[in-house]
Chain A
Amino acid sequence: MLSRTAQGLYWMSRYVERAENNARLLDAGRRIEGLPGAEAAGNTEWPSIIIAAGCRETFGEERLDEADRDSATFHLAFDPENSSSILSCFAAARENARAMRGAVTSEVWTAINGTWSELRKLDMKAVDERRYADFIESVLGASFHFRGAINATLLRDERLWFIELGKHIERADATARMLDVKYHVLLPKTDEVGAGLDLLQWQQILRAANALRAFRHVYREQVSAPRVVDLLVVNSQSPRSLRYTYEAICDNIDNIGVHTKAQRAVADHAREIRDRLRVADAHDIIDFGLHEWLTDMIMETNKLANALGESYGFFSQVDRDAADEEVEDSSKLETCTQ
């Protein structure tokens, strides 16, 4: 397969996953905003959502503190200037699909083209308070439709493995960011309220990750930070956990096949991260510092993604090279005070 084809399929898939994760982040923002006491803490959820989406720079550092639902939603959902907005993601995914039209089935093409032509008709009216959740659902639904078409119609060959690889790399990045949202959301000073709100916020993160029910099913106990970290990092069955995505990344690379020295190095790197996740423990991670641990994870994933693209002959992206910016972005997270 041509490297360019592999690259197009990989990015098509990453962009759809990114759109889905942006929708999940907005959902988390909406849910945390509605919690009692959020106001007292100064509604820091929206800046934190923007940081988690890796859009701090495109949004504008100087106005980050003033971010509210409208400005954050516009930037992450519709802003054409933001190459990571949901609309931009679907436009880029469609452009990649169009260029690779011969490599995907008409069902996959129709799914993505249909979503794009619906989305571009929308504006902020589509996300007024009453319809906000509907909008989130429609974006998730579009992503599910796309994945379903891929699952149901594509041959199980290299093309599928690159699509899967794109999804899992993006998801590994997104899950780490989603967990990190909590780091930036301030809690009110009063300890009593703070403790309760803390748990509620974790609950909302789980909800946005489609994992609240799974949590109850797996742990049968109250939500707590170590358990959430366990479910979204260590658990091997949770489809958005880092452990699961890295198992999948390794499988995808094995299926694609390793043909060169550089590709072998990438495969080894992925396995090394996976092996670390296999023995990871949620309490250890929290003791180490969740934010620091996640920042490290995000950087490792980016390094892996860059080396992967290079080893399979991807060209440098004409538009935003997401990986580079994100690495820069995560290092800046350190300076954020809680």
Chain B
Amino acid sequence: MVAYYDEMKDRAGIKPAYADVARWAEETSSDELRQRQSEAEGLFRRNGITFAVYGEGGDPERLIPFDLMPRVFCAKEWDVIERGSIQRARALNAFLNDVYGKREFIKAGKIPARLVEGNPAYEPIMQGIKPVGEIFSHIIGVDLVRTGPDEFNVLEDNCRTPSGISYVLQNREVMQRIMPGMFRSGQIRPVDHYGDMLAAAMQSVAPDDCDGRPTLAILTPGHFNSAYFEHSFLADIMGIELVEGQDLFVENDMLFMRTIRGPERIHVLYRRIDDAFLDPEAFREDSMLGVPGLMRAYKAGGVTIVNAPGAGVADDKATYVYVPEMIRFFLGEEPILPNVETWQCADESEFKYVMDNLPELVVKEVHGSGGYGMLIGPKSTKEEIAKFAELIRKNPANYIAQPTLALSTVPSLVNEGLAPRHVDLRPFVISGKGKTDLIPGGLTRVALREGSLVVNSSQGGGVKDTWVLRGERL
């Protein structure tokens, strides 16, 4: 039996950060807990918050379960997460600049060239482009797991169009209504300046020829998209237009939206559609979602695209292994948040190790996401393992393996009452010109099924509010 790290309790008992929450849960009857829980769900449903988290499939109108019990970080813990996430984001952006620029990282033999150029997310059209402020990925979601008091690991980076931030803000909104007492002491750091932070970062990377206040917009695939709620939510909190491809056109290498007053120029476009659909002239010809000529305007410096096309080359599971080295190479620093130990099946000796130890390992597809196409050794039958071994043998380069992590737990409200459930954390790091920052909070996903280590909403995962305290206790 593996001992999991309980974030609420250690040997000395309930930790100070959780003292008030634990007392509240203790004093509140299970009926009332359930009542509050359904109140919270009602609020979500009324606001129409239905969407899937980045890369996950499933019913787009589904509500992701909300768990009433918050996850709490004290200042000291958060300090590590904050510095570590910012460091990681800076290194990833430096790597992207290098990939599409001088290629020094490759030349120094730090990463095989085939992992960059053979990567489906690598966009040759970006070669030689230097985005404003040298930022490729303005919004990075860093997926973190915890296995002990000081043991945080990065599980995955999301450099393309990470979603889930609207949940962070809405979770807080709902919690402030359900447990107002907890917020009275002012110890829980607010998160609602996310919109301002993102808008400021977007403005800072406006094209050089923009005089006056830059016009920002969010590009959505449309209201049939599963993350549409988040797109409109973001447009709303930033007070900017939510546009679709059909609203936009390019002229004289500048991007315009069609308004009732005539064309209006857009300086910075936060796109929430994939690279492949951005511009039928540059990428997929059949794309109806994008804007013909957008890449032309981008290359001419007429518009800034957030996040830049081709940023995905930094975030897949094969590149992941090299991020600690990126931190050392580009920043001259030691990684604050280490990677999870990872074996690449493409490597012969590592492949052998993986095949010999499958029952203890987690094996994932290099480009996969959403908790699909993976093997969790300790939770699988012999037959399942044998079947998966066949898949790996057929295409070793498509797989990486990691030890099965003893993910930390936080008490969650489930049918039987309060019970420990495994969690992860996705802070959202925002990079503008000369500034990398994040709000004190992030998306905590929780595996609501007993014993489950998969937090993805498509696999029975839910979300919690994440509290970052000013000090050590509420």
Residue positions of A touching B, CB distance < 8 A: 1-4, 6, 98-99, 101-102, 106, 158, 256-257, 259-260, 312-313, 315
Within 8 Å by CB of A101, from B48, B247, B258, lies B48
Contact of B262 among A102, A256, A260 (CB under 8 A): A260
Whether a CB of chain A sits under 8 angstroms from the CB of B242 is: yes
Can you list 5 A-B pairs with a CB-CB distance of less than 8 A?
Answer: A2-B241, A2-B257, A101-B232, A102-B235, A313-B260
Instruction: Indicate which residue in B47, B48, B223, B247 contacts A2 across the interface (CB closer than 8 Å).
Output: B247
**Is A3 touching B222 in the complex (CB atoms < 8 A)?**
no
Known: A101-B223, A102-B232, A102-B235. A313 touches B242 (CB 8 A): no
Flag if B223 contacts A259 (CB, 8 Å): no
Distance in Å from the Cβ of A113 to the closest Cβ of chain B? Answer: 10
Give CA–CA (A99, B231) in the complex, Å: 12
How distant is the Cα of A337 from the Cα of B442 in the complex, in angstroms?
A: 72
- CB atoms of A4 and B246 under 8 A apart: yes
Q: Which of B217-270 contact A (CB under 8 A)?
A: 222-223, 232, 235-236, 241-244, 246-247, 257-262
Give the chain B neighbours of A99 by CB distance below 8 A: 222-223
Taking CB atoms, residues of chain A closer than 8 Å to B232 are: 101-102
Residues of B within 8 A of A (CB): 46-48, 222-223, 232, 235-236, 241-244, 246-247, 257-262
In chain A, what residue has the closest Cβ to B235?
A: A102
CA separation between A245 and B248, bound complex, in Å?
34
A312 x B260 contact (CB < 8 A): yes
In the bound complex, how far is the Cα of B258 from the Cα of A259, in angstroms? Answer: 13
The reply to whether B46 and A315 contact each other, CB–CB distance below 8 Å, is: no
Q: Are A98 and B259 in contact (CB under 8 A)?
A: no
Which one of B222, B223, B236, B259 lies within 8 Å of A313 (CB-CB)?
A: B259
The closest CB in chain A to the CB of B257 belongs to A2
Q: How far does the alpha carbon of A1 sit from the alpha carbon of B246 in the complex, in Å? A: 15
By beta carbon, the residue of chain A nearest B232 is: A102
Once the chains are docked, how many angstroms separate the CA of A6 from the CA of B247?
12
Contact indicator B261/A2 (Cβ below 8 Å) = no
- Which residues of chain A are near B235, meaning CB under 8 Å? 102
Whether the Cβ atoms of B246 and A315 lie closer than 8 Å is yes
Closest to A263 in B: B260
CB pair A4–B247 under 8 Å, yes or no, is yes
Known pairs A4-B246, A102-B235; A259 contacts B262 (CB<8 A): yes
B309 to chain A, nearest CB (A): 24
Question: Are A102's CB and B246's CB within 8 A?
Answer: no
Are B222's CB and A2's CB within 8 A? no
Nearest-CB distance from B456 to chain A (Å)? Answer: 26
The residue on B at minimum CB distance from A311 is: B260
* A residues near B247, Cβ cutoff 8 Å: 2-4
- A259 contacts which chain B residues (CB < 8 A)? 260-262
- Which 4 interchain pairs have the tightest Cβ spacing? A102-B232, A3-B258, A99-B223, A259-B261
**In whole angstroms, how far apart are the Cα atoms of A179 and B404 in the complex?**
77
Given known contacts A3-B258, A6-B260, A313-B260, A106 and B223 CB-to-CB distance under 8 angstroms:
no
- In the complex, which residues of chain B have a beta carbon less than 8 angstroms from the beta carbon of A106? 46-47
Give bound CA distance, A106 to B47, whole Å.
8
List, in ascending order, chain A residues with CB within 8 A of B259's CB. 1-3, 313
Considering the complex, give the chain A residue whose CB is closest to the CB of B46: A106
Docked CA distance A101–B235 (Å): 12
Of all chain B residues, the one with the shortest Cβ separation from A113 is: B48
Question: Does the CB pair B258–A102 fall under 8 Å?
Answer: no
B173 CB → nearest A CB, Å: 14
Which of A102, A158, A260 is within 8 Å of B236, CB to CB?
A: A102
Contact with A257, one of B242, B246, B258, B261 (Cβ below 8 angstroms): B261
Judging by beta carbons under 8 Å apart, are A4 and B244 in contact?
yes
Residues of A within 8 A of B260 (CB): 1-3, 6, 158, 256-257, 259, 312-313
Shortest A96–chain B CB gap in Å is: 10
Report yes or no: A98 in contact with B246, Cβ–Cβ below 8 A: no
A2-B241, A102-B236, A313-B262 known; 13 other A-B pairs, CB under 8 Å?
Answer: A2-B247, A2-B258, A3-B247, A3-B260, A4-B258, A99-B223, A101-B232, A256-B260, A259-B260, A259-B261, A259-B262, A312-B260, A313-B259
A260 neighbours in B (Cβ, 8 Å) = 262
Nearest residue in B to A158 (C-beta to C-beta)?
B260
For A2, the chain B residues whose CB sits under 8 A away are: 241, 243, 247, 257-260
Least Cβ distance of B384 to chain A in Å?
42
Q: Which residue of A lies closest to B244 (CB)?
A: A4
Taken together as a complex, chains A and B put the C-alpha atoms of A106 and B232 apart, in Å, by: 14
| A315, chain B: closest CB distance, angstroms | 6
Q: How far is B262's CA from A312's CA once the two chains are assembled, in angstroms? A: 8
By a CB distance below 8 angstroms, the chain A residues around B223 are: 98-99, 101
Q: Chain B: which residue is nearest A110 at the CB level? A: B46
Q: How far is the CB of B341 from chain A (nearest CB, A)?
A: 45
The minimal Cβ–Cβ distance linking A255 to chain B, given in whole angstroms, is 12
Alpha-carbon separation in the docked complex, A101 to B241 (Å)? 13
* Residue of A6, A101, A158 with most chain B CB atoms under a 10 A cut-off: A101
Q: How far is the CB of A301 from chain B (nearest CB, A)?
A: 21
Residue of A nearest to B264 (CB): A2
For the complex, what is the distance from the CA of A4 to the CA of B223, rounded to whole Å?
13
